[in-house]
Amino acid sequence: MSHAFAQRLDAVAPSATLAMTAKAAELRAAGRKIYGFGVGEPDFPTPEYVQQAAREAVAKSSHYTNVVGTPELRAAVCEATARDRGWTPSPDRVCVGVGAKHVLFNLALALFEAGDEVIIPAPYWVSYPEQVRLFGATPKIVETRAQDGWRLSAEALRAALTPRTKAIILCTPSNPSGAAYSAEELRALAEVLLGHDCFVIADEIYGELCYDGFEHHSLAKVAPELGERLVIVDGVSKTYAMTGWRIGWSISSAALAKQIAKVQGQSTTNPTAVAQAAAAAALVGPRDEVHRMRELFAARRRRMVEGLNAIPGVSCDMPRGAFYALPNVEGLYGIRHGDKLLASAADVSLWQLDVCGIAAVAGEPFGAPGHIRYSYAASESQIDEALTALRAAVLDAERA
């Protein structure tokens, strides 16, 4: 018994996205040509002005900082929030962590416990329910539909709320579906939430990546009356191609920020000092690279969705934001792969990896059975080449 692992881990599944990324890397190292559509990571370099800020910081940023971030970075978060989201928090409400995933982990530790329910619309990012389970709470998954743009309705939210609801986690634009909520849709959800006392966690890390004229609206701007219960999660990873720098933050009530600081003070302490300096430079620096990356993502999105829809048995709607497509692949069920027939999205994802070298993550861990998540954070030539190969494989496949 003394060598047993903590039972809380029994309820938690490993990250499906990281598992696919590791499998793709293994095959690539063995000499296979792999098309990497599995990882949620921009393929662009971090902007040069951000790298320069990091180089300059190396000489003077080698010591501990404030647990929840330097004054410079927290001020930059407030400045960028005012510029990009239309509302202005105070620095004492900002807690900087080691990436947005770490920030969400801190929130889960600070808020969730046995007996709590946390509403999570499906499809969802794989870590949301696992973090809830890790702390003994129950994820309450609320299904959405592709024909509704994968967006949670006010009616479905109202039906899901109970006296045990501790929080709702809402991601807009969404990983894995690219779903994003208009101001009117957020307002409708807020009207329902005003009748409950749960926390509202809005993950806005993809907020700068919206297309075709759609504009991201921050829930804090749309429904400021949610007040002390509202928590915004954001970071530099996706907008500035800074995934490896590991800087994210929460903006919450000052009271909750103190609890998050308590959690972080007994775990990681501060995020890396040099990365904080780089993030501050990113937030207040020129926007040219941000706009250029968004334009390239927009073109890739169209290329990916149109290419997927050209494959018999695959159908995909055009997402509003982020850099993911979530096609339905049930039309590929019945293809023979070795001695078995494809019967799930997981089967299809393994078949396309084996036959075409395409690494993308099956929808089951995202709460989207029958679908596969393809990241279009890859060049147009890679997208074209991979989907041409996939279409040929489908047309040539043996079926039952």
Q: Which domains does the chain have, with CATH numbers?
A: 7-45+289-394 (3.90.1150.10), 50-284 (3.40.640.10)
The token pair at 186 is 């957020």
> Would you state the pLDDT for residue 86?
97
Q: Is residue 109 scored above 60 in pLDDT?
A: yes
pTM here is 0.95
> Would you state the pLDDT for residue 3?
66
Q: Which residue type is seen at 113?
A: E
Pairwise CA distance, residues 302 & 305, whole Å: 5
More confident residue, 240 or 11: 240
Mean pLDDT (whole number) for 385-400: 96
The token pair at 345 is 């999205």
pLDDT tens digit sequence for 23-63: 888 888 888 899 999 988 999 999 999 999 999 999 887 79
Paired sense of beta strands 230-235 and 248-251, if any: antiparallel
pLDDT tens digit sequence for 125-158: 999 999 999 999 999 999 999 999 999 999 999 9
Q: Is 94 in contact with 251 (CB distance < 8 Å)?
A: yes
> Would you state the pLDDT for residue 70?
97
Q: Is 107 in contact with 132 (CB distance < 8 Å)?
A: no
Please name the residue that has the structure tokens 């949610």.
226
Which residue in 282, 277, 259 sits closest to 95, CA to CA?
259
Q: What is the DSSP letter of 365?
A: G
> Would you state the pLDDT for residue 39?
84
> Would you state the pLDDT for residue 16?
73
The token pair at 161 is 């709320």
396 phi and psi, to 5 degrees?
-95, -5
| H or E segment to which residue 50 belongs | helix 48-58
The token pair at 152 is 């949670």
Q: What is the DSSP letter of 232?
A: E
Which residue in 369, 319, 323 sits closest to 349, CA to CA?
369
Q: Distances in Å between the alpha carbon of 125 and those of 158, 178, 221, 249?
A: 22, 11, 24, 17
Q: Distances in Å between the alpha carbon of 244 and those of 40, 98, 151, 235?
A: 12, 10, 30, 12
CB count within 10 Å of CB 49 equals: 14
Q: Is residue 11 scored above 80 in pLDDT?
A: yes
Q: Is residue 4 scored above 90 in pLDDT?
A: no
> Would you state the pLDDT for residue 1?
52
165 phi and psi, to 5 degrees?
-65, 115
Determine what percent of the chain is predicted with pLDDT higher than 70: 99
Determine what percent of the chain is predicted with pLDDT higher than 90: 90
Q: Is residue 253 scored above 90 in pLDDT?
A: yes
Please name the residue that has the structure tokens 């040929």.
392
**Taking each helix axis from N to C terminus, what angle separates 380-396 and 288-309, rounded to the nearest 10 degrees?**
10
pLDDT tens digit sequence for 202-212: 999 999 999 99
pLDDT tens digit sequence for 152-181: 999 999 999 999 999 999 999 999 999 999
> Would you state the pLDDT for residue 2?
59
> Would you state the pLDDT for residue 21?
77
User: For residue 288, what are the contacts with CB-CB under 8 A and spacing of at least 6?
Assistant: none
Cα 142–314–328 angle (5° rounding)?
10
